[in-house]
Amino acid sequence: MSLRLSRFVGHRGIAAEAPENTLTGFRLAAEAGFLWVEFDVMLSADDVPVLHHDEELGRTDNGSGPVAVHPLSALKALDAGSWFGPGFAGERIPTFEETIACCRALGLSMNVEIKPTTGREVRTAELVSDMLNDLCPDLTDRIIVSSFVPDCLRIAQEKAPDFLRGYLSDTMAEGWHGAAKDLGCFSVHPNHACLDAGLVTAIHDAGFRILTYTVNDPERAESLIGWGVDAVITDEPLAAAALA
Ligand code: G3P
Ligand code: MG
């Protein structure tokens, strides 16, 4: 399989310019020139994969309480745009299925981060894997499935083996290499704060590509790219324009 990474990946769509994890965010990311976007997937109470970063509603919408106790109908009634700006009023929390269709139509490749709420790790990974197999068998060269939760990557490895996996890590603590290898990962996705030139070389020497998050400072992006990282996940369209 030949997967073509781009140097920049729009984080949660294009989080500096549009409400995160929304279809408008993906449209604006595409308009800004991004070829890849990252987004976060968790389950509604009735087991529908939806896009949301936080376990709790409230920061990025006008809801309250855990996402996991709200059925899709309740999540769809929320306004996920006004918090960001009045021009985004009425934006809805998208389902994973709607997001796949949107990104497909826009020609965007997808970094699907499985971001389960506590206790729903297995079910989230199973349903995301099923949906990838059902809806995207033709997009295996345009999707990377990542997670901070090794169990989610293990389930993706078992249930959706045709899709590439990325090992997300905030610290790159000892053991990352064995874990990423056992999970058959294509890439490692470290927090940029834990990277230096030596670690970039070590990750590449171990056979993994590197997508690092979340880099909004153009100088930092330039350093990371100079060390050889394959992609920088960023909220900022300006970074992409400056370094494209
Ligand atoms: O996938 C990269 C990045 O999104 C991981 O952190 O918390 O922004 O989902 P977070
Ligand atoms: Mg994420």
In a domain, 72, yes or no: no
Residue-range definition of the domain harbouring residue 131: 8-55+96-242
Assess if residue 186 is contained within a domain.
yes
What is the tens place of the pLDDT at every residue in 25-77? 999 999 999 999 999 999 999 999 999 999 999 999 999 999 999 999 999 99
**212-215: long-range pairs with CB below 8 Å, 24+:** 213/11, 213/38, 213/189, 214/11, 215/239
CA distance 171 to 65: 29
Alpha helix locations (H) across 83-212?
A: 96-106, 121-135, 150-159, 176-182, 197-205
* Domain membership flag for residue 171: yes
Examine residue 70 and state whether it is found in any structural domain, yes or no.
no
In a domain, 102, yes or no: yes
Residue 67 lies in a domain: no
The per-residue pLDDT for range 81-140, each reduced to its tens digit, is 999 999 999 999 999 999 999 999 999 999 999 999 999 999 999 999 999 999 999 999
Ligand 2 ion: Cβ-proximal residues, 5 Å cutoff: 40, 113
Catalytic residues: 11, 53
Domain assignment of residue 91, yes or no: no
Residue of 211, 208, 212, 213 lying closest to 183 (CA atoms) = 208
82 assigned to some structural domain: no
Number of structural domains in the chain: 1
Q: Is the CB of 38 under 6 A from ligand 1?
A: yes
Atom 10, ligand 1: which residue's CA is nearest?
A: 53
pTM score above 0.95: yes
User: What is the pLDDT of the chain when averaged over all its residues?
Assistant: 96
| Residue 143 belongs to domain with CATH number | 3.20.20.190
Confidence of residue 2 (pLDDT cuts 50, 70, 90): confident
